[in-house]
Chains A and B, each alone.
Chain A
Amino acid sequence: MADGPVAELLLRRLEASDGGLDSAELAAELGVEHQAVVGAVKSLQALGEVIEAELRSTKRWELTSEGEEIAREGSHEARVFRSIPPEGLAQSELMRLPSGKVGISKAMSNKWIRVDKSTADGPRVFRVVDSMEDEVQRRLQMVQRGQAEKLGEKERSELRKRKLLAEVTLKTYWVSKGSAFSTSISKQETELSPEMISSGSWRDRPFKPYNFLAQGVLPDSGHLHPLLKVRSQFRQIFLEMGFTEMPTDNFIESSFWNFDALFQPQQHPARDQHDTFFLRDPAEALQLPMDYVQRVKRTHSQGGYGSQGYKYNWKLDEARKNLLRTHTTSASARVLYRLAQKKPFTPAKYFSIDRVFRNETLDATHLAEFHQIEGVVADHGLTLGHLMGVLREFFTKLGITQLRFKPAYNPYTEPSMEVFSYHPGLKKWVEVGNSGVFRPEMLLPMGLPENVSVIAWGLSLERWEPWKTKQKSTCADLMVNSLPSPISPTMIKYGINNIRELVGHKVNLQMVYNSPLCRLDAKPRPPPTQEAA
């Protein structure tokens, strides 16, 4: 049984032909749509070697729908001409005709008609000649008769510009007998059906082969944001290491907790209007822990706890100023202060990952808000070796094993160390984080015991997600800025070279849809080879 009447007819014609036949000609001969013949060719092709079909393309000229109308009714200018009686017609009336607007201007340029603007009741249109030839209509009718070739190139292109004529490419098949040619072929089944299973008819049926090279249909699904997938992984790592999450749900912070409590002097450049967002409303913090504030004030202005202090005039007004926190270390300070109030002291490990804010102008590499990742350990007798050991474990979980530590300066840690990792791609050491031991001038006024040390480190989530260039900030001594990062696989993969396509409302949602799982410790896969691609 043949696969539909057209396929059957095709096979019979092909049997009778010597050599082969053209699908378009066959369609004309059979009086069916060309598409029906193409369908038959394709279904026969799918059967294997029954027929061979070679795709050929031919170009030909066809009238557009407007072109067909003109071939039938005459050109707009001819229609305008014909509608003007010998005594002329008001232009306004002429304009109301469907052909009016185009027709008048064309008829004018053909010098068939003229406009007299001196008549009393508005401009009037008169015939200039008694009769005319409608060349446009004649040419289009030629095309309709299949005589497009008889028209000159210039004439055709003029008609094309008027959108009356279009060149179309016709794809036809040259069909010839295949090695397994036969006029009696049975139809292949496309899919298994419940009926086939119950009747057992599937046993006797041939099935159409699948095209395993085609893509599948993606499931309808929601997606998590790629950067927040990285955030989840960092949370996971801290939890695996026994770190407790700190509350950071307070974007608004007083200068006191953001700076003063960290022993960051009031003239420090980070406290400048250029770097930090201050608030107009509410401009000032309403409450501060005044006993503690006094100890902080004394440490800044006079020293104490073994410190010389900064020896300047510390002002409460400055500490009251509200701002958008510039780092999550302000939240760590609050947590450590609370820890200090609990007696006896119990060791603690803390972490947080949340938004921080810098007064930047957005561009391809700068954000005014980003996420800081921070880890803190408070214990008796912690050493620099402990800090380095914790960092080694932390970075191992990120798949980074080659670490090096560089002396650095942070206003509230001493000693301080920048963490560098060897980047095999860039073939150099790149900074991956910043760390240190909190200064006694920060911890002792809180009330922590003298033999308790607090080690801490910070990095930026966005830099991590890893971003190509270094975000350099003017206040280079805070824990999270100037964190460069290895070249980002995610960003290269999706051709992102602007951080705003990853973070914020200008995100590229397709990138979000396509983003893979975040497996920080997974070895990067080698680039696909030619064969695999």
Chain B
Amino acid sequence: MPTVSVKRDLLFQALGRTYTNEEFDELCFEFGLELDEITSEKEIISKEQGSVKAAGASDVVLYKIDVPANRYDLLCLEGLVRGLQVFKERIKPPVYKRVMPDGKIQKLIITEETAKIRPFAVAAVLRNIKFTKDRYDSFIELQEKLHQNICRKRALVAIGTHDLDTLSGPFTYTAKRPSDIKFKPLNKTKEYTACELMNIYKTDNHLKQYLHIIENKPLYPVISDSNGVVLSMPPIINGDHSRITVNTRNVFIECTGTDFTKAKIVLDIIVTMFSEYCEKQFTVEAAEVVFPNGKSYTFPELAYRKEIVRADLINKKVGIRETPENLAKLLTRMYLKSEVIGDGNQIEIEIPPTRADIIHACDIIEDAAIAYGYNNIQMTLPKTYTIANQFPLNKLTELLRHDMAAAGFTEVLTFALCSQEDIADKLGVDISATKAVHISNPKTAEFQVARTTLLPGLLKTIAANRKMPLPLKLFEISDIVIKDSNTDVGAKNYRHLCAVYYNKNPGFEIIHGLLDRIMQLLDVPPGEDKAGYVIRASEGPAFFPGRCAEIFAGGQSIGKLGVLHPDVITKFELTMPCSSLEINIEPFL
């Protein structure tokens, strides 16, 4: 969930009133926001770097507000204020207009070289805008928030904003060999080639996270004006020449990306949020983008879409009984201008370009419910009668674990993921023989594979509890995972029961006795016949030679028991003899 940081006093000034922290928290809750933290720059710096460094920092109160991940229109002070003011019916939602320039329209021409790397671009102009320091900071911050969220860390979309008065169109968006791109980037004093820049930014804490997007491509995207001045090398860095400042009056905005829909949404959000500060409020100057196929489009789209939802559907889905008129009023408060039409049961809703999150009637229904107030909805119980069933495997597990404890064994809960070493080397088995499922991207060796046996987890539990009085008698009933090409995903869980006995003596008879008890519980008699169980001398790398037996029930091998091999004991950092039992309980369902 993105967090937006706004100055409290600025927020209250824009809202036209003040709130206590509790009142504002309450308002957020109602609207679906969360007042996460009340802090100041000073407090933040002092927390992160110590009070000495924080000495000169501002102690203006900051509200950190958590915003739902799909509400891009609430990612800056301007949007938050507009949303809350409309919600409280203090203002009417503004209407955003795309206008044609008095002079020539700004043109961005996309060449076909971009196709393989970053094929889409959109653009617009904010004309005669008036920044202040706070507005300017908010403008930069919004771009950053969009980059981190909908733009997926610039992979899907990257935004460039430029001082139009320093440039001269038409602009060209193309892709060139890195060695052929040379310009002075933001915050640098001289020109570098793209190759040099990629090297420099490897150590840049902010920019290094974006390099992978184009790093290994033969051609890098680049936008330049008619004089060859580089505006930006998306998605990495803008040129210094066209940088915007507090004094910039005309802003050229370009968004490039791999996802056309999202690029259009991002452009719409930026221009709707900041056209508030244009001389002609809420108007955005159009720009023309020519695609490689010669087709030309005008942006921003700023599309208003109409949806019709039946009032009784809203009432039915929420569980309320409001008149269509009231519902239309509720929706209007959510920035969705609505009116009752047709037979009086239909509500026509206008989806503004700021609400890209509304893609289905259910999104509209949710907004009606929010405006109605979730906590005002009458709670009811579904009338349908249902009969509960346990999942048979879990039912058996639940019954067995209680009786395992009654037999004197203590239950443990170990991780399903572990290292290759745990299930292979430490048990004297080759990893290829385990049929284990392998994880491709573990952050540490603790999560290389899914376990194929419960034994390592139990032995590690003993190792972490060596100070406990002996004997240690532990068990676990849980799932292991084995590759299996007969299932749709190519792997299958098996419910295993594992128990260990750890003491000064190996205690094979105790583990063997536990097996007898388990079989008694499962109503399986001892015996060689079809219905019975039997153990037969066997061997296994994890067991001490001559002290291992295979367990058969109903003629089928279900596991092994025995005294662990001293090498296994040592590899799990244990010092005492230990016997163990591990069976698959699924045949007993």
**Residues of A bordering B, CB below 8 Å:** 220-225, 227-228, 232, 235, 238-239, 241-254, 267, 269, 273, 277-288, 303, 305-312, 322, 324, 347-349, 355, 357, 359-362, 368-369, 377, 379, 381-386, 388-390, 392-393, 404-409, 411, 414-417, 437, 439-441, 453, 476-477, 482, 503-510, 512-513
Contact = CB atoms under 8 A, between A and B. Distances in A.
A324 B439 contact: yes
Contact of B408 (A220, A224, A303): A220
B382 A508 contact: no
B528 to A, nearest CB: 31
B359 interface: yes
A230 B363 CA distance: 36
B318 A509 contact: no
Interface residues of B, number: 98
Nearest to B409: A222
Contacts of A253: 489
B186 interface: no
Given A278-B441, A281-B483, A312 B490 contact: no
B229 interface: no
A379 B360 contact: no
Contact of A355 (B32, B385, B386, B416): B416
A254 B384 CA distance: 33
A457 B402 CA distance: 29
Given A277-B447, A287-B488, A267 B156 contact: yes
B362 interface: yes
Interface string B487-525: 111111101000000000000000000000000000000
A368 B447 CA distance: 9
A285 B366 contact: no
A509 B444 CA distance: 26
B366 A415 contact: yes
A505 B320 contact: no
A291 to B, nearest CB: 14
Contact of A285 (B34, B70, B384, B490): B490
B379 interface: yes
A162 B200 CA distance: 65
Contact of A267 (B259, B483, B493): B259
Contacts of A386: 319, 380-382
A173 B1 CA distance: 72
Contacts of A246: 391
Nearest to B422: A505
A441 B360 contact: yes
Given A287-B488, A508-B465, A509-B468, A224 B365 contact: no
B473 A222 contact: yes
Interface of B: 1, 29, 31-32, 34, 68-71, 152, 155-156, 259-262, 316-320, 359-363, 365-366, 369-370, 374-375, 377-382, 384-391, 393-394, 398, 401-402, 404-417, 437-444, 446-447, 450, 457, 460-461, 463-465, 468, 472-473, 475, 479, 481, 483, 485, 487-493, 495
A310 B406 CA distance: 55
Given A238-B388, A277-B442, A383 B318 contact: yes
Contacts of A383: 316-319, 377, 380
Contacts of A368: 415, 417, 446-447
Contacts of B464: 505-507
A254 B29 CA distance: 36
Contacts of B490: 252, 282, 284-286, 322
A406 B333 CA distance: 17
Contacts of B365: 414-415
Contact of A242 (B32, B386, B473): B386
A406 B439 contact: no
Contacts, number: 297
A224 to B, nearest CB: 5
Contacts of A245: 388-391, 394
Contact of B401 (A224, A308, A416): A224
Contacts of A404: 29, 375
Given A254-B489, A324-B439, A440 B360 contact: yes
A220 B379 CA distance: 49
B359 to A, nearest CB: 4
A439 B360 CA distance: 9
A426 to B, nearest CB: 15
14 contacts: A228-B401, A245-B391, A252-B490, A279-B440, A283-B440, A286-B487, A347-B384, A368-B415, A385-B380, A405-B375, A407-B32, A414-B360, A415-B370, A506-B464
A513 B415 contact: no
B94 to A, nearest CB: 23
Closest 10 interchain pairs by CB?
A: A385-B319, A383-B319, A407-B32, A282-B490, A409-B68, A415-B366, A505-B460, A280-B440, A222-B405, A389-B379
A348 B384 CA distance: 8
Contacts of B439: 277-280, 324
A310 B150 CA distance: 12
Contact of A408 (B68, B152, B442): B68
Contact of B414 (A277, A307, A482, A504): A504
Contacts of A347: 382, 384, 386
A406 B489 contact: no
Contacts of B461: 505-507, 509
Contacts of B406: 221-222
Given A286-B485, A311-B261, A252 B382 contact: no
A385 to B, nearest CB: 3
B297 to A, nearest CB: 15
Contact of A306 (B29, B360, B495): B360
A361 B407 contact: no
A510 B437 contact: no
Given A239-B390, A386-B382, 6 more contacts: A228-B411, A249-B495, A279-B437, A279-B440, A359-B441, A383-B318
Nearest to A347: B384
B516 to A, nearest CB: 16
A282 B489 contact: yes
B519 to A, nearest CB: 18
Nearest to B401: A224
B156 A282 contact: no
Contacts of A283: 440
Nearest to B368: A415
Most chain B CB inside 10 Å of its own CB: which residue of A235, A269, A384, A477: A384
Given A250-B493, A251-B481, A324-B450, A348 B386 contact: yes
A383 B320 CA distance: 9
Contacts of B410: 222-223, 225, 509, 512-513
Contacts of B360: 305-308, 414, 439-441
B488 A286 contact: yes
Contacts of A441: 360
A369 B401 contact: no
A409 B71 contact: yes
A477 B1 contact: yes
B402 A476 contact: no
